[in-house]
Structure 1
């Protein structure tokens, strides 16, 4: 995709405006001179005037005060201007001139879980890859333009730690253009809601911890690793009240569901009369998403809120899937997967189809949720995970130290890195809608 350029400073824009004014003046003269031609000719002349006014108005509006909004256009010469490009179908291109979009050390609020360079990673080529759609270009991320779009608004990410990583990426993407005194970070809701604020813009970029979207016994943002994962599949209000009035909502939920059976609670936690039952995971996943979609349909302000759902973030925990030695994982990987269309077993197509069906049903009910399909493009990036290069929350055992594969993180992503591209995709849709 290519950005169309224009604005008050463009010579082409000035020329077009002057031509339009001359054309309008000539049209006006024709009407005066031809007043004796009769009603029919006068009618045609009036149509010409109105058409010219529309042209002038359109030119003025497109100037947008000297700023040009990113637009998604097909770049292929065989494509018409109305062609739509699949942003999610493409390839990774090495680009050490334009990428990374920010420096790890310069991001004020970088997460130690994702700061791979800080924790000893020497090969930094994972930072230099640009996503290139096959038939168009992604608009270049512009932090100032995004913050202007977010002026007096809330951008809220809702979901698990992968979603939190995307939020951290977005914060880093805008952080560098803001003076220290004009930005802040604080937490509320018992630590579940983290809020980055750009003060001059009165804009917030937030993350709300809700790994299963509906209420669960894993909702504590710190102490959430429980042996028996349980969901209240019909309950979402406890979470939703924190993001009801957001202007942009970006959801995800996937990895926390990855088990054959989920424990479902009918009732409330602590209620002795509550009913617990083990239910096949895919069925529970659909039930939870139906609860989520029903809430959206009733509570979302359709004239205000833009909705997004981020698809599965793939894992790279079994090296034999990309024809490497069995028993290995993403540890020590420095190259991406070259096989086009590669799909590992860490991504579940059945779960993705459930999400697609729920979103399609919402669309049929008049509510649009844009799917950000990051799965395939992220599948190739086996070298983009923190591996052993992150803060270790617990002391490593001698056995772990002797076998780095055993504690390598092949789930989350280093920053700068893959989640920045997820946000470039989100950025494109925020401006394109």
Structure 2
């Protein structure tokens, strides 16, 4: 029996034995199959030709993607790293809206895109390092939303969108602050040429010849027609004409060869004592002396009225100018940017903090919250009004700005502030450049790209 089993096993083994040549061929075929399987696992489908590859975004997004560059790592409190190519970041932002209002400032060792001492567009009072500020830690923070990412600013992408367009920043000195930030950011990619200005630089216009792109600044702190308070000239109150527009900028909105996109910023001047006019008469007053015998009126209500009328008129003028035009018109409104004076601003109050507030460390004040709310609500109402000629967007920066007490010029709004002795006036309202205001323009770019 044992002999039979051995014979059976020998016969089966003989069937499994292959000639040496066949064995080599078998091994070679096995190796080729393994390589093929590995290729399929790594690259399961060959790339389609450019003419037939499915589009992952609308053509206007593809045209405006920034050029490839090294991904910028994000370091959160848990030291985890996040990175994504700029193209993927822009596509993600265009595909899904991001809530930029909820987040925190995180350390960022990367240098800013421009130098505060060499960008000659900056108004003297915002050039903190040129004025003697040596502690530049305020430039090494980045805003990180909680549930999404805010891509780094791409000058190339912004200039591609701005090609053959005219963008205007309209409003108060914070509008000018944001406009100068944008110009310095863009100048890192293409040199602008100053082509027009007034005596006190409240109106300026630049052209990027390479792109036929124009950026202007219009001084209009009340948005509607008004005369600003001037203690030097003996004018104690703002005069607001609530039923008239400031045609210095409004007349250039959306007309032939005029402004294609407007970025508005206003709020702080509405808190100043003011007299309100409508229909040729005085209808109210904020903070006026009792002897004037005017009805005390909430400046918050007046601010809402001015914002609403401005957006409504912009929509109307956009419709009137929209016949035969395919390009989108844009009105973006930057929400209220809080100050950080620790005391009375006119008595030398400082803003001494050297780091951002942590999330939950500071609560937004009532007035700041209401000013923000008014802009957000009125922009949403304008967007929902059914006008297809103009796109409206709120650049909601109030929370992220409120958490940055360290980003203001403080005493360095003039050169060598301590050289002469005496009381030093601090600026805890405007922003050093570079600084937190550059983040406003990061959000502006993503708002533009996300149609």
The alignment's TM-score, normalised by the length of structure 1, stands at: 0.73
CA drift at 1:201: 1.0
Using the alignment, how far apart are the partners of 1:204 and 1:341 within structure 2?
Answer: 41
Give 1:285 shift: 1.5
The Cα offsets for residues 313-345 of structure 1, whole Å up to 9 and x where unpaired, read as: 01111279xxxxxx9954432122224262343
Return the alpha-carbon distance in structure 1 between the equivalents of residues 112 and 267 of structure 2: 27
**Map of 1:17-36 to 2, 5 A cutoff?**
17-18=48-49
Shift in Å, 1:93: 1.4
Rounded Cα–Cα distance in structure 2 between residues aligned with 1:375 and 1:246: 26
Q: Find the residue that maps to 1:251 and give its secondary structure.
A: strand
Name 1:345's counterpart in structure 2.
365
Residues 355-388 of structure 1 deviation map (CA, whole Å, 9 limit, x = unaligned): 2332232123124421111111111111110011
When structure 1 is superposed on structure 2, of 367-376 and 418-427 the one drifting more is 367-376
Q: 1:57 to 1:283 in 2, by over 3 A?
A: closer
Q: Report the Cα distance in structure 2 between the residues aligned to 1:59 and 1:141, rounded to whole angstroms.
A: 20
Of 138, 159, 171, the residue aligned with 1:159 is: 171
Separation in 1, partners of 2:97, 2:108: 25
Match of 1:206 among 180, 202, 216: 216
Among 129, 136, 143, the residue aligned to 1:124: 136
Find out whether 1:296 has 2:314 as its counterpart: yes
Deviation at 1:348, TM superposition (A): 2.5
1:227 paired with 2:251, answer no
Asked if residue 307 in structure 1 is aligned to residue 331 in structure 2, the reply is: yes
- Partner Cα separation in structure 2 for residue 183 and residue 122 of structure 1: 30
TM-score by length of 2: 0.71
1:257 aligned partner? 270
Larger CA deviation: 361-370 vs 189-198: 189-198
Stretch of structure 1 that moved more, 186-195 or 113-122: 186-195
1:2-41 aligned at under 5 Å gives the runs 15-18=46-49
SS for the counterpart of 2:106 is: strand
Which one of 382, 394, 412 corresponds to residue 405 of structure 2? Answer: 382
For the residue of structure 1 that corresponds to 2:243, the secondary structure is: coil
Match of 1:141 among 145, 153, 156: 153
Structure 1 residues 225 and 313: alpha-carbon distance in aligned structure 2, compared to 1, 3 A threshold: farther
Which residue does 1:428 correspond to in 2?
446
2:430 counterpart of 1:412: yes
2:341 aligned with 1:317: yes
Kept in 1, the 8 Å contact 2:104–2:359? The answer is no
Deviations 1:35-63 (A, max 9, x none): xxxxxxxxxxxxxxxxxx7x646689599
RMSD across aligned positions (CA):
3.7
Q: Output the CA distance in 1 between the equivalents of 2:132 and 2:56.
A: 54
CA distance in 2 between counterparts of 1:210 and 1:193 reads 10
Q: Is the Cα contact below 8 Å between 1:107 and 1:176 reproduced in 2? A: no
**Corresponding position: 1:197 with 2:207:** yes
Q: Note the alpha carbon deviations across 1:147-206, whole angstroms, 9 max, x for none.
A: 121111011111100110000000100113335xx6234215985431121112110111
Unaligned runs of 5+ in 1: 1-10, 22-52, 75-80, 268-272, 321-326
Between 363-372 and 421-430, the greater mean CA deviation after superposition? 363-372
Q: Which stretch of the first structure deviates more once superposed, 338-347 or 201-210?
A: 338-347
CA contact (8 A) 1:106 1:176 kept: no
Structure 2 runs not aligned, ≥5 long: 1-41, 67-86, 286-296
Equivalences for 1:74-85 in 2 at 5 Å?
84-85=97-98
The within-5 A match list for 1:25-64 is 56=54, 61=59, 64=62
CA contact (8 A) 2:99 2:145 kept: yes
State the Cα deviation string for residues 121-162 of structure 1 (Å, max 9, x = none).
110111111111112222221212211211110111111001
1:87 correspondence with 2:100? yes
For residue 211 of structure 1, report the CA deviation from its aligned partner: 0.3
Deviations 1:243-298 (A, max 9, x none): 34422211111101114x6311235xxxxx75464232122222212221220121
SS at 2:196 equivalent: strand
CA shift for structure 1 position 225:
9.0
Please, which of 334, 338, 341 is the counterpart of residue 354 of structure 2?
Answer: 334
Deviates more, 1:358-367 or 1:166-175: 358-367
